[in-house]
Amino acid sequence: MTDRAGDHGHLIEHTVRSEELLRGRFLHVMRDEVRLPDGTLTTREYVVHPGAVMVIPMLDDGRLVLERQYRYPVRQAMIEFPAGKLDAGESTQRCAQRELLEETGYTAREWAWAGVMHPVISYSTEFIEIWFARGLVAGERQLDAGEFLDVYAATPAELLDDCRTGRVTDAKTLAGALWLQNVLSGAWTLDWQPALG
Amino acid sequence: MTDRAGDHGHLIEHTVRSEELLRGRFLHVMRDEVRLPDGTLTTREYVVHPGAVMVIPMLDDGRLVLERQYRYPVRQAMIEFPAGKLDAGESTQRCAQRELLEETGYTAREWAWAGVMHPVISYSTEFIEIWFARGLVAGERQLDAGEFLDVYAATPAELLDDCRTGRVTDAKTLAGALWLQNVLSGAWTLDWQPALG
């Protein structure tokens, strides 16, 4: 066993060469040759992703705004916090404000950055920045063409019960529930900021 | 807004045709043509994955067994619960027992299935079954050739602090921390079973 604060220099893999394996309409896949810590060579294949944001939107009555969306790869309608990919050059707060408005119609007066997660560290560069939103004001959503999703509200207790019973299995939403539970208990704190104008 | 128990039949996407886009050494990518709820056609590209397990191993002193492993796609050494892919035909408990032994050297007398998560619902079929393990007995680990990872122990408070401060950003491990926190508080319960012989 090593210790919690252990150095990790002895674990690093170094790039030898990099090639594009697939440029699909949606997925961009690379194959790199890498040198392992013992000097041997191996191959790493991974999806290149621009990064994304997820929003935990809290209504004034304490309920959360959630979405139900059919996710084709897993062939299920999934319960999720609102989320979406970063546009080129877009800040993560700007993206969070845009995605919340487009998908749910809500704007929020206050925002707090919570942290970042990596959904699939073995085969994608994707990161998801986690934002909380409060002071919500309802409006008209602006779904992209071909985007179909339902919006609903649930109490934190209902969401956590859905995590426990397996109605929620989306990993980003489960990670959001960890943040939510600890923010609501006061164990973890947030630094609230006004919305970007 | 719809309600929490809303029907989702109106969200379903139907497969029109399916083609293999990439069969790499590691990644297998499909491109399907699908019919959207409004009848229009679009494309879905996604990684085909055999599924995986994650183990939350609890030592008799209350600490957890964790790993630190360099993850090339995100270019960082990541803190993770032990995890690995299912072999063909392997049950998820058998896989959990195998991965824990191979990566950490521990065997566990008791196991409890907690739930399932989907790490990347927009572009992979991957699911991860979540198992708890207790009654741990240390032994010799059996890393695959080319596998380099450190094993360490941390208290639940240390792990949760690492989630809060951003030292832990792996989404499956954050979702595991949600399970752990609720099991330890007694809010969520587990059904413990003996290890498979």
Residues contacting A56, CB < 8 A, separation 6+: A64, A81, A114, A130, A131, A132, A133, A176, A179, A180
For residue B97, the model assigns a pLDDT of 98
For residue B5, the model assigns a pLDDT of 78
Q: Report the distance separating Cα B124 and Cα B46, nearest Å.
A: 5
Mean per-residue pLDDT, B86-114: 97
Query: Would you state the torsion angle of the CA atoms of residues B18, B22, B23, B27, taken in this order, to the nearest 10 degrees?
Result: -100
- List CB contacts (< 8 A) between A54 and chain B: none
**Rounded to the nearest 5 degrees, what angle is found at the Cα of A188, between the Cα atoms of A187 and A193?**
140
Mean per-residue pLDDT, B89-108: 97
- List CB contacts (< 8 A) between A7 and chain B: none
The answer to whether residue B6 scores a pLDDT higher than 80 is: no
Percent of chain B with pLDDT over 70: 100
Element (H or E) spanning B170, and its range? none
How many helices (DSSP H) and strands (DSSP E) are in chain B? 3, 11
Residues of chain A with pLDDT under 50: none
The answer to whether residue B29 scores a pLDDT higher than 90 is: yes
Q: Which of B26, B70, B177 sits opposite A11 (nearest CB)?
A: B70
Q: Is B139 on the interface with A (CB under 8 A)?
A: no
For residue B166, the model assigns a pLDDT of 98
Residue located via tokens 């413990």: B192
pLDDT single digits (tens) A158-169: 999 999 999 999
Q: Is B174 on the interface with A (CB under 8 A)?
A: yes
Which domains does chain A possess?
Answer: 9-47 (no CATH), 52-188 (3.90.79.10)
Q: Which residue from B minimizes the CA distance to A74?
A: B125
Mean per-residue pLDDT, B57-79: 98
For residue B36, the model assigns a pLDDT of 96
For residue B3, the model assigns a pLDDT of 83
Identify whether the C-beta of residue A79 lies closer than 8 Å to the C-beta of residue A170. Answer: yes
Q: Which of A74, A116, A149 sits opposite B166 (nearest CB)?
A: A116
Percent of chain B with pLDDT over 90: 92
pLDDT single digits (tens) A24-70: 999 999 999 999 999 999 999 999 999 999 999 999 999 999 999 99
Q: Which of B73, B121, B187 sits opposite A121 (nearest CB)?
A: B73
Lowest mean pLDDT among B69-78, B121-130, B143-152, B154-163: B143-152
- List CB contacts (< 8 A) between A71 and chain B: 118, 121-122
Contact map slice: B 25-84 vs A, CB within 8 A: 25-27, 29, 31-32, 34, 36-38, 40, 42-47, 68-74, 77-78, 80
CA distance to partner chain B, nearest, from residue A34 (Å): 9
For residue B1, the model assigns a pLDDT of 80
For residue B75, the model assigns a pLDDT of 97
- List CB contacts (< 8 A) between B149 and chain A: 11
CA distance to partner chain B, nearest, from residue A197 (Å): 26
ipTM of predicted assembly, 2 dp: 0.97
Identify whether the C-beta of residue B34 lies closer than 8 Å to the C-beta of residue B16. Answer: yes
Mean per-residue pLDDT, B50-64: 98
For residue A21, the model assigns a pLDDT of 97
Q: Which of A11, A42, A150 sits opposite B11 (nearest CB)?
A: A150
Q: Which residue from B minimizes the CA distance to A83?
A: B122
Question: Encoding tokens for residue A68?
Answer: 């139900």
CA distance to partner chain A, nearest, from residue B88 (Å): 19
In this structure, the number of other CB atoms found within 10 A of the CB of residue A5 comes to: 7
Mean per-residue pLDDT, B172-193: 98
pLDDT band at B2; cut points 50, 70, 90? confident
Q: Is A23 on the interface with B (CB under 8 A)?
A: no
pTM above 0.95, yes or no: yes
